[in-house]
Each structure stands twice: as structure tokens, then as C-alpha cells.
Amino acid sequence: MSYSIKEIFYTLQGEGAQTGRPAVFCRFSGCNLWSGREADRPSAICRFCDTDFIGTDGIGGGKFATAVAAAEAVDAKWPSDPVQTRVNASRKLVVCTGGEPLLQLDATLIEALHARGFEIAVETNGTVVAPAGIDWICVSPKAGASLVQRSGQELKLVFPQANLDPAEVEDLGFEHFFLQPMDGPVRAKNTELALRYCLDHPRWRLSLQTHKLLGIP
């Protein structure tokens, strides 16, 4: 299998339970809930996505013929300083995101990334069952989409969404439950709504997109 990857870059995880942790982000091309083209947004299942996942023209992106080639490209982004590498060798993290990464992330690539010492996290919409071996599964359900990945480490619900109440997913098999205010022109209002919901329903925690606040990728 070959892999189409939009971009690969090193930064800090900006949201959710691992906020602030250094990671290599591997953004796969393509999604099953929106084509990524503005002309298709009105008819898409997910209409609020703000991510460019079309093509392979981003930083470090490309079409990789093998899992080994893709894993090597990810590994090349991790700091190569000898002291940094020694200190963080057991903390190497790759975040597989998209688009929808589980359309491409498979057992072969998981094995290749593990072989290079990476802990593997995935950010998925939950419409595809995750293959075995992923170390951290973060599911972000979307209204109108079939949710088949119903367990993992983290559930992160963009809020508010019409026709998707947090109560519908709060009993699923996750360790952490986050509400993340929907970005856009009414972000301040959405943040207040998410804050209030978390205060009224203590099972939920607030997730902010700190990378946007800090101006980092």
C-alpha cells in the first residue's frame, strides 16, 4: 500500500489531554466526511472543518510507496540533537491526523513507526474501526456520521453541534471526555457554551486550541 500525506511537521500538541507535548504531526490526505473543496461544503456531513488536507504539497508531504518510507519521513522530523534524542527517546510521539487518517493508517505503517520508537496517536472521526496497535485513540464524533470506533483514550467533541448532544456519547468507553468550542465567527459564544456545559456536567473537560492562540502549526 502507498500513502498520500499532506504534510509532516514537528510542533506541540495543541489540544486535548496531551496539550503541550512535542510531537510529529503526520497529516494524511483525504476524508470520508468532506472532500476538502469549498464547493462541496454545503452538502458535506462535516461542514465546519478548517483544515487543508487536499493533496500532498504541504511541508514534508508526498506520496510514499512503502510504510518504511513514510515512517522514515516521520522520524526525520524528530529532533536529532544527541542530548535531546537521549532524553526523549522513550517519549517520541507521532500524531496521525487528517482528513481521516484511518483511511490509510494500517498495520504495516503502525509496525514501521513502532520500530522507530514512536508512540502512535490518532485523531479520527470514529467512522472507521482503528487497527490494533495504536497507542492513543482520540475520537471526534460528527453529527450525522456513523460512529463505529466507540472506545479509546480520548473523546473530543466539537461543541455545539446540531443533532449531537454530549449526553449521547458520554457513556462510551473512553478515559477522557473533552468539549472543544467550535471555531468560526461565533467562537466566543461557543466557548462560553462549552465552559458552561463543563461546569454543569463535570464528566466533561474543556479543550482549547492552544496552537491557534500561540500561532504555531
Closest CA to 213 of 195, 187, 176: 187
Is 123 one of the catalytic residues? yes
Q: d(Cα 77, Cα 68) in Å, to the nearest integer?
A: 15
Is 96 one of the catalytic residues? no
For residues 138 and 156, is the Cβ–Cβ distance under 8 A?
Answer: yes
Catalytic residue among 7, 15, 49, 138: 49
Is 49 one of the catalytic residues? yes
Catalytic residue among 7, 26, 28, 31: 31
Catalytic residue among 15, 75, 100, 123: 123
Catalytic residue among 7, 26, 46, 124: 46
The amino acid present at 81, given as its one-letter code, is D
Cβ contacts of 196 within 8 Å, gap of 6 or more: none
Is 50 one of the catalytic residues? yes
Catalytic residue among 165, 176, 210, 211: 211
Sign of CA dihedral 201, 202, 203, 205: positive
Is 201 one of the catalytic residues? no
Catalytic residue among 15, 25, 53, 96: 25
Name the residues annotated as catalytic: 25, 31, 46, 49-51, 123, 211
